Amino acid sequence: MKRSKTGIAALCLALSSPLPTGASETDMANPSAVLSEAVRKLRYPTAIYVLRDDGDSVAAAGMADANVGRPLGVDTPLRIASNTKTFTAATVLRLWEQGRIDLDAPIAELIAPEFDRVLRRDGYDPGRITVRQLLSHSAGLFDHGSDPRFAKSFLADPARVWKPIELVTLMTEYADPQSAPGTEFRYSDDGYILLGHIVERITGQTLAAAVREQLGFNRLGLNDSWWEIMEEPPAGAGPRARQWLGNQDVTDVNASIDLYGGGGLLMSARDMARFFKALFEGRVFARGETMQEMLRPGPHKGSDQYRLGIFVDHIGGRDVYWHSGFWGTYALYDPETRTAAAGVTTNQEGYRDLVSIVRAKVPRR
């Protein structure tokens, strides 16, 4: 493996600053042709799906599985890793608008005793950490996924099945609390593991079933999407793509390394774009106020870059919202032009080029 830094959080944070965006395609007569040409030039297999009110742009090139000659398409599912956080956050917000969860409630009231014990043993106080702080990464938690010891561990034993409590325990073994709750943004997969756990306790369902039901996967036509291990693929969904870290095939690393809310979804570029457009255009939440709550900045340091399950950035002089995933996935939405775009690459080393192309699809003023 070529990379020495393989933390799940590291890639998101490294890429939260503006990237080169290339030329805008707003004035191009055939944006799909322009997109296809850009994707064909990339080193690694890539698929991009763009949704606008005036038409879609679609492009894909390369192999989803070179061993069997299967090409990558915009409908090819693959692990979207931390892009899953937006779905977990949206599910929590659906429960909030139903009056089933208080975003400002201490998590001590919501988590199982074994999680409470593990956190307190390391100096965390679940009585001071709130659901909102987990959603906004402002609870002061360390992130086990960004520690190189975790990557070393799962690559050495790729078949190991990890339980949520084991991952949270790793967080406490790797480092102590990073900051006081509610004071600053510190990205943490473990916060979203706790959120996934809370969703399951509130709903009495698996996280997969709760997310599917609350967000309306079937209603929205997300036919290439399912939660790995926890549920069966939808009828007609294609096989997932193989995924790589440089020269290392990581397809068969057990999904439990990133399954419980911070990651876990298998999804295509098309479905990611469809979901982002539906989310921001009022077809997921029952009330407009819920979307406002998701995007409202918190009082903590760093809330200018991350809200509740979604990053915020600036393109063309305005706010756009996005998230990314460690293996090489990216989705964004531009409210002003109602543009949703998502892309996937089968190799993490192709991620920066993928993001550059996707961001170029946002029309300039």
Catalytic residues: 82
In the structure encoding, which two tokens stand for residue 23, read together? 């030329």
Residue 320 φ/ψ, nearest 5 degrees: -130, 155
Task: Identify the bridge partners of residue 61 per DSSP, sorted by sequence position.
Answer: 46
Helix (H), strand (E) counts: the chain = 13, 13
In whole angstroms, give the CA distance from residue 7 to residue 109. Answer: 30
Residue 29 φ/ψ, nearest 5 degrees: -70, -30
In whole angstroms, give the CA distance from residue 191 to residue 170. Answer: 13
Contact 194, 134 (CB under 8 A): yes
| AA letter at 144 | H
Contacts 24+ apart (CB under 8 A), 154-159: 154/253, 154/254, 154/257, 155/1, 155/248, 155/250, 155/253, 158/250, 158/252, 158/253, 158/254, 159/252, 159/254
In whole angstroms, give the CA distance from residue 124 to residue 58. Answer: 46
For 62, 84, 131, 231, 270, the CA distances from 79, given in Å and listed in that order, are 17, 9, 26, 14, 14
